[in-house]
Structures are given as C-alpha cells and as structure tokens.
Amino acid sequence: MEQISWQEFEKTDIRVGTIVAAEDFPGARRPAYKLQVDLGPLGIKKSSAQITKLYTKDELVGKQVLCVTNLGKKQIGSFMSEVLVTGFADENGAIVLAQPASKVPNGSKLM
C-alpha cells in the first residue's frame, strides 16, 4: 500500500450528512440510488450510491453518512454527483454505509 503524508491526508474533507431524499437511478450501469445529503453549512449535495442490495429508499432517509466533499463533481450518466458517500464491501460485495456511531451535527468534519 502506498503511503501518503499527514499533510496529504489533511486535504481530504470527510464530513457527516443526513440523507434527506433517495430515488431510483435507472440510468446507472449498476443498480444505484440518487441521494440528496444535508451537509449542514455546506448545503444539500447530490450523490449516486450503489447501495441497493442492503438498503431501501425509505430506510435511507434520515440516516447519517460519511461523505468526501472535496473530490469535485463527477458526471455519472445523466446525473452530476457532488460528493462521495462512503462505505465498505461486505463478504458478498454489497456496500455497507460508513456512519457515525452516534448522531452528530450535519457538516461535522472527520477528525
């Protein structure tokens, strides 16, 4: 694994946000949802997430998630993703969302 410096890591902006809307993304190559995430002072940002195996749209609304906010926008089909919602692949390859263990204010930065 390539090592990075502490200064390089500090450039990564990972913040918590609450999913306020989730909808199907039929134009995605792999099954995905279009999400809207409330990042507090950063506003509501859009993301595409391949999390359909473990989560329904209804259960996503209200969940807090960790998002990388400074990667820049990425065009995904007809959708412009503004943040990267993070997660881990389980033993079957399904994505499990990265979440704080307790509720924290939206926009809080990972320390």
Which DSSP state fits 40? G
Residues 6+ apart with CB under 8 A from 33: 22, 23, 24, 25, 48, 49, 51, 52, 55, 57, 60
Token representation of residue 92: 């079957």
On average, the pLDDT of the chain sits at: 96
Domains of the chain with bracketed CATH = 6-97 (2.40.50.140)
Q: Are strands 64-68 and 87-89 parallel, antiparallel or unpaired?
A: unpaired
pLDDT digits (tens, 9 = 90+) for 60-107: 999 999 999 999 999 998 899 999 999 999 999 999 999 999 999 999
Q: Are strands 64-68 and 84-85 parallel, antiparallel or unpaired?
A: antiparallel
Average pLDDT over residues 33-48: 98
